[in-house]
Amino acid sequence: MLVAGLILAASVMQTPPQEDGTFWSANALVNVFRDTPMPTGDVSKLTLSGARGQTVGGQVVLQAGSTPSQVSRVRCEGLRSDDNRNSIGPSAFWHAFVEYYHVAKNSTVTPATELARQATADFPDAFSEATEMTIPPRQNQPIWVQFRIPAGAQPGTYSGMIRMTVDGDNLEVPVTLDVYDFTMPTDTRLLVTVWTNTASLAKHQNVAEGSDQWWALLERVAALMRAHHQNVILTPWTLIKAARAEDGKLALDFEQFDRWVRIFRANGFRRIEIGHIGGREHGQWEDKTFVAYDMPCTVAKEGQETRAPIEEWLPLLQAHLKQRGWLDQSMIHVADEPIPVNLDSWKELSARVKKAAPELRRIDAVHVPDLKGHLEVWVPQLNFLEQWMEKFVEAQKEGVELWYYTAWVPQGRYPNRLMDYPLIKTRMLHWLNYTSGTTGYLHWGWNFWDVPFDQFAPGDNFIVWPGKQTPRSSLRYEAMREGIEDYEYLCMLEDALVAAGRRTRAQGLDARALVSKYATALAPTFQDYSRQPAMLFAVRHAVARSIETLRGRTPVAVRAVQVGADADVMGFAPPGATVSVGDISTLTGPDGVFSLAATGVKGEVELTVAIGDDEITVKAPLIPGT
C-alpha cells in the first residue's frame, strides 16, 4: 500500500521510502511502464503550460508498495493565480487512469534504440473509464490529468492541488499551470484526417448502423475528433442509395449522405473527404490494374439490383455537392497508394474521375512523385516525401495541395504513432508538417479494431479504444492533439512576425524562414529530431514567449540555442535597433532580423533592445543544444 507518509501538504512534501510505495509527476510524453523506476530529483510537482482555450495534460504516477493500493476520488478543486486575483475552476480538470495493453511483437522494422521498450511487454495507452483502481504490489499506475484553460483566463501562473484517496487517506499532488498571453484558436490550420471504420464502430459500440443510436453516436464521435483537431472526415459514398427508373434514368438518394455530412460540419469539420471509387483488381499490392467500383442500384421495374458506372453517378454527386454549397470543401479519393507498377492504370482511372466530375478535387495517398495533372491533393508517405522533396515542392509551387501520411511504415528513425514508440515520436509528426511545408496529415486508422493487432505494427490500426458510450482517448491521441497545437503555435508565431514586420516597416522579412529556425532547433530533418521531451517543451516555450513579446510596444522575438558554453541567439526586433547580450551587440537589418553569439549564458538569455531613445529588456528561454 501507499504509506500514510505521502499524505502531506505541498510545503512539507517528502518522498516516502520506496518499499512503502511512492508517487511522482511526469510530463505527457513519458511512457510509464509498470516497472518504470521513480526518477531522481524533485518530481513531486506537476508543471504545465498552455494558451487560453488550450487543453494541457500530464501524468501523476502512483507506485504501490509491498501490498496492493486502492486509488479513488481523483479531483482538483481549482487553481488560483499567484496574486490570488484569478482562478481556474474545478470544471477545467479531467483525469483518467491509464490502461496497459500487452504487445507480443514490436514494430517489425524498427531498431531497439528507437522503441519505447522491447516486446513482450505491457504498454501504456488507453484511458480507462473506471473511477477507481487497484494497483498490484510493486507496480506503477499512471493517471492522466488535464486542464482545459478557459478562453477568458488571465495570463500568469496558477497553482493548486490534485487530490485523490489512496488506501483511505488523502494524497495531495501540487500542480502549477502557466497560462500564456494568447489564445489557441478553435479552428486550427492543419488539415487532419484519420479514417473511421463504420462497421467496427457500430459493432464495438453495440449499435446498428443507420439507427437513431447510430446517429447519436456519430455526434459524440465528431465531438471527440474535433476536440483532437480532426477537421476532415472520410465520408463513404456507399451512404448514397441509387435507383434506376423504368426509363433507365439513374436517381440518387442522398438522405444518409447529407445527414453524415451535416453532423460533421456542425462540429466544425472543414473538408468532406469522399471515399475511394476504385482499388486494385485482385486486392494484391503489385496488381498492375486498378478497377472502378460501380454503384449498386435497384431497378424499379424488376426490383432487381444492377450497377451504375462512375461515369453515371459521379456527375450526379458533383451536382449535389454544388447544390448544397459543399463542392469547394469536398474532395474524392481515386484509389489508394499507387506504385510504379500500376501507376499508368491509376492515372487512367484518375482521368475518368476528372472527366466525370471535373470540379471535384482528387486526393490520394501516394508512393510516387509523377502525378502532375492527375491529382489536386497529394499525400505522399513520409519517407517518400523526404525522398522526392524537390519534386513535391515544385508541384506545390504550381498549385498542388501537399500533405503527407504515415501508416505502419515508415518506421526506423522516422516519427510515427505506433504504440511501442516513445510518445514524442507521435507529437513530432506535426512539427514535421511545419518544417516540410505540408498543410495536412492523413492516417488510415482511427478505429480499425477488428484488424489483427500484430498484422502491421502495434497501434497502427487504431488510436482510440472502444468505450461505453463513446470511443476512449489514449496517450497517443493526446500526443497527436498537442502536436497539432504545437503546429498552431508555430503558425501563430509566423502571424505575429508578419504583423510586427508591418508595424515596424520591416523590408523583406521572411517570417516563415525565421520561425523555421525555432522548429529546426528541435527537428532538423525527417529522421534527425530530438527524442527528448524536455527539448520539445523548451522549444515550445521559446515559441510561446516570442508570440507574447512580439505583441509588446517594441516587438521582439528571440530564439536562443545553447552551443557548448555559448548561445546562438537570433530573432527579430525593429529595423535599425541595437540588440545586446552582455558586451556583445549587433544591429538589426532592414528586415529586422538579428543574429549574434553570446557567451556564459545559462538558463535564459537577457537582451537589451535599443531604438532611438527607447530601450527595453527581454528575457528569453535558452533551448538546450541537441
Q: How many whole angstroms separate alpha carbon 555 and alpha carbon 583?
A: 22
Q: How many whole angstroms separate alpha carbon 409 and alpha carbon 265?
A: 31
Condensed to tens digits (0 to 9), the pLDDT of residues 191-250 reads: 999 999 999 999 999 999 999 999 999 999 999 999 999 999 999 999 999 999 888 899
Q: How many whole angstroms separate alpha carbon 203 and alpha carbon 459?
A: 19
pLDDT band at 613 (very low <50, low <70, confident <90, very high): confident
pLDDT at position 19, please?
Answer: 56
Of 135-149, 174-188, 298-312, 403-417, least confident by mean pLDDT is 298-312
Q: Of residues 278 and 245, which shows the higher confidence score?
A: 278
- Bridge partners (DSSP) listed for residue 619: 606
Contacts of 488 (CB under 8 A, 6+ apart): 184, 185, 188, 189, 190
Give me the residue label for grid cell 489512496. Answer: 166
Using the predicted structure, report yes or no on whether residue 272 has a pLDDT greater than 70.
Answer: yes
- CATH class name, domain 4-183: mainly beta
Per the prediction, the chain carries an average pLDDT of 95
CATH superfamily of 513-623: Immunoglobulins (2.60.40.10)
User: What dihedral do alpha carbons 312, 314, 317, 318 form, nearest 10°?
Assistant: -120
**Phi/psi at 503 (5° precision):** -60, -35
Of the candidates 275, 277, 278, 236, which has an alpha carbon nearest to the alpha carbon of residue 258? 236
Percentage of the residues of the chain whose pLDDT score is greater than 70: 96
pLDDT at position 176, please?
Answer: 99
Q: How many whole angstroms separate alpha carbon 369 and alpha carbon 390?
A: 10
Percentage of the residues of the chain whose pLDDT score is greater than 90: 92
Helix (H, G, I), strand (E, B) or coil at 2: coil
How many helices (DSSP H) and strands (DSSP E) are in the chain? 11, 33
- pTM for this predicted structure: 0.96
- What is the pLDDT averaged over residues 45-62? 99
In 128-237, beta strands by DSSP E = 132-135, 140-148, 156-166, 169-183, 191-194, 232-235
- What is the pLDDT averaged over residues 80-89? 97
pLDDT band at 2 (very low <50, low <70, confident <90, very high): low
Q: By the 8 A CB rule, do 105 and 420 touch?
A: no
pLDDT at position 551, please?
Answer: 95
Q: Which amino acid is at 235?
A: T
Assigned architecture for domain 192-234+248-275+310-489: Alpha-Beta Barrel (3.20)
User: What dihedral do alpha carbons 609, 615, 619, 623 form, nearest 10°?
Assistant: 0
pLDDT band at 14 (very low <50, low <70, confident <90, very high): very low
Q: Which amino acid is at 19?
A: E
pLDDT at position 1, please?
Answer: 53
- What is the pLDDT averaged over residues 280-292? 98
Q: How many whole angstroms separate alpha carbon 212 and alpha carbon 208?
A: 9
Contacts of 177 (CB under 8 A, 6+ apart): 48, 49, 50, 56, 79, 88, 147, 149, 157, 158, 159
- Residue 109 has, within 13 A of its CA and on its CB side, a CA count of 11
pLDDT band at 597 (very low <50, low <70, confident <90, very high): very high
C-alpha cell at 52: 487560453
Whether 513-623 and 4-183 are alike in CATH topology: the answer is yes
- What is the pLDDT averaged over residues 31-46? 96
Condensed to tens digits (0 to 9), the pLDDT of residues 15-32 reads: 443 457 899 999 999 999
Give residue limits of the domains in the chain: 4-183, 192-234+248-275+310-489, 513-623
